Structure 1
């Protein structure tokens, strides 16, 4: 028997800790993880995780070898390749050239490698942008509610004020953005950035039309703010159906694009990127300034993880779109299956005997559902314990209390039979 570790005699006063660790919305995500661990046999519509089957064709060693061969083909010696992969790397990244070429090929976004920064997932990219683009304590970030909790958590950790825009199902209205900007200005704060996920946002599933994208770009230019475009779910659009990305439409320099290899490749590599080709009055790209901040945060993004992402890109013709093609097809199939199961077992999405409503997005991982009863932790616990089904309460996706009666369903990690059985259980749980 091992000895019991001594208990520290010093108790840190809670008031000395940053308030974010006691934030109810952040703690609600911790509670969700605890519920998932406590009921591992439950069918879970909670995680927005990739489907396990999509990892079967991924050989990490092969990917690293493919990227190493690419380096040798471009003149690097064997010793140079080994050093590039095994040593600390530059803060700006290693596969910048591949990402720049991929967005040029896929999206007609013409940027150089110096405009690309490789990050530890999209989350670090968001954190860096919020830190670097909000210099004054009165700078604010605008979001479309409901919004990605990771953005809200990053802002909370940084002490940045966040203001919310509504979503009428088509995304934020530019007139509402203008009104929010003026109202925020009168309160002594200035909106510097607007965070948007234009294609199948988490959790709403909203996709912005071409007209709405153009109108928001024009409004951002009038208000002198930058748009942070999150493209995490863009690859799930049916081929040829998605409007151009905000970055592709931007001819002024108002958009910084954030991308990730987590959903489209493997989350275990924890590799994301951002495209920030804006120039400061020093002549330096915004990406280079962000790299300076990154050096103080994570030093660099793991070279071997970047090599995995780079190798996967090279295996798919240097195209992010091609890398995500088969995966997007699987997720669209899962989404169609979930929507059909909801109609079959609960009723029409716009209203039914159970008083439950939901949206029907054309892509992404998520369906947003509104209940006649609070979708709180107590209901989640009963759903897990008595019916064996899990979902995500949406309170953490809002600044206020608007998410009290809403939940999010994710179908990305499930198979069709699991989706069918999960919806049957969900229908029973929601009839309480």
Structure 2
């Protein structure tokens, strides 16, 4: 049975703070400090370079990939961790294009995270082979999929509104048109049930510092459908994706299976922290987590709308059509969010006017949600946001 009180106790949550920004950066698991200390003091310190063998550092990318794979419905040996999400997006798109050499268009939507679009556009430009990136409204994706599309690249949950794509329906349409399907799970892995095997997705990528709580800068992951992996040529032919890295061959030979999608040296300390963070999911039913997430978000929407008529719901009204976040539009949204943070309720802001709140049942409670709604309504009702300090833009919003 899923016990959310027990899972909350796993996190180091500052006293007096209501944290509703786990969709941007998850809080620190209490075990992270000891795990990092152990890796530094008990492994790196005494073992030095022998830690790659003695402590099993070289195996971490695959081990963590399998742990994440369990949360996204991917079979063992089909997911690997390392590098950044941007690099994993680049790998997926480049591989997809090689699998469909006669097609020239990558399809995405304007709700995709901009970094994904930047990486795809940069790759297509560097190829210089007449490829183009077609960007449509999220609602227009299905109709835009046809036989001209080489790859469809989408983020399952819109980072601004929380709008949720139908992963199975879109993947089926992409395959029916002969296109490769790439999913970015940055805002859904660890937040809702995903079954990549059932939907037959070709590639999936994601970060681990949001709902997976791996810490700032935690490495990304990539999944490749098992029957495709031996056809995939890694565009970024990194040393650790080589079939025999320590043979030091001058010619690249891709490694077996998902290991070929490795690129750079594993960030061992960060991976150790991520390994500790994933322990929080060991006794968690993703279906139960999803049900509680909807309960939290529904209460927040209800109480904010009841107490504050000046805001507009940006997220889908239907909870089944959104991820684990809720966004409201307010003309002075940035200042209002800064005022809210000053009161100990942390969400975030997305330009031009959207206040964004993430809900994670691993540590968020119904009482916190009600408190956050009350504070937000009070700030807007009293113009508590109208202070110069709250209007000064910071580097990270």
Q: Same fold (TM over 0.5)?
A: yes
Query: Could you say which residue in structure 1 is the equivalent of 2:308?
Result: 346
Give the superposed CA RMSD: 4.9
Aligned length: 323
User: Where do 5+ consecutive residues of structure 2 fail to align?
Assistant: 1-17, 126-131, 242-261, 387-397
Query: Could you say which residue in structure 1 is the equivalent of 2:197?
Result: 248
Determine which of 134, 140, 153 is the counterpart of 2:118. Answer: 153
Q: 1:292, 1:166 → 2: CA distance?
A: 34
Q: 1:59, 1:427 → 2: CA distance?
A: 40
**Cα distance change on mapping 1:106 and 1:392 into 2, 3 Å:** closer
Query: Is residue 292 from structure 1 mapped to residue 227 from structure 2 by the alignment?
Result: no
Query: Is residue 196 from structure 1 mapped to residue 154 from structure 2 by the alignment?
Result: yes
Q: 1:65, 1:273 → 2: CA distance?
A: 24
**Cα distance change on mapping 1:304 and 1:234 into 2, 3 Å:** closer
Query: Could you say which residue in structure 2 is the equivalent of 1:15?
Result: none
Give the structure-1-normalised TM-score: 0.57
Q: Is the 8 A contact 1:142 1:195 kept in 2?
A: yes
User: Where do 5+ consecutive residues of structure 1 fail to align?
Assistant: 1-42, 72-77, 186-190, 348-353, 396-405
Q: Is the 8 A contact 1:85 1:303 kept in 2?
A: no
Determine which of 200, 205, 209 is the counterpart of 1:258. Answer: 205
Q: Is the 8 A contact 1:387 1:429 kept in 2?
A: no
Query: Could you say which residue in structure 1 is the equivalent of 2:374?
Result: 420
After superposition, give the CA deviation of every residue in 1:346-400 in whole Å (9 maximum; x if it has no partner). Answer: 34xxxxxx583433445645334456xxx5xxx55665799989853456xxxxx
**Cα distance change on mapping 1:368 and 1:167 into 2, 3 Å:** farther
Query: Is residue 177 from structure 1 mapped to residue 148 from structure 2 by the alignment?
Result: no
Cα offset for 1:302? 0.7
Cα offset for 1:272? 1.9
Query: Could you say which residue in structure 1 is the equivalent of 2:248?
Result: none
Q: 2:21, 2:155 → 1: CA distance?
A: 20
Q: 2:176, 2:231 → 1: CA distance?
A: 22
Q: 1:173, 1:108 → 2: CA distance?
A: 24
Cα offset for 1:424? 3.2
Q: Is the 8 A contact 1:203 1:366 kept in 2?
A: no
**Cα distance change on mapping 1:356 and 1:98 into 2, 3 Å:** closer
Secondary structure of the corresponding residue to residue 146 of structure 1: coil
Secondary structure of the corresponding residue to residue 237 of structure 2: helix
Q: 2:105, 2:113 → 1: CA distance?
A: 16
Query: Could you say which residue in structure 2 is the equivalent of 1:228?
Result: 182
After superposition, give the CA deviation of every residue in 1:245-286 in whole Å (9 maximum; x if it has no partner). Answer: 3x22245xx521223321212223512211114566xx8353
Q: Is the 8 A contact 1:234 1:364 kept in 2?
A: no
Query: Could you say which residue in structure 1 is the equivalent of 2:395?
Result: none
Determine which of 56, 61, 80 is the counterpart of 1:95. Answer: 61
**1:18-29, aligned counterparts within 5 Å?**
none
Query: Is residue 267 from structure 1 mapped to residue 211 from structure 2 by the alignment?
Result: no
Secondary structure of the corresponding residue to residue 267 of structure 1: coil
Cα offset for 1:292? 1.9
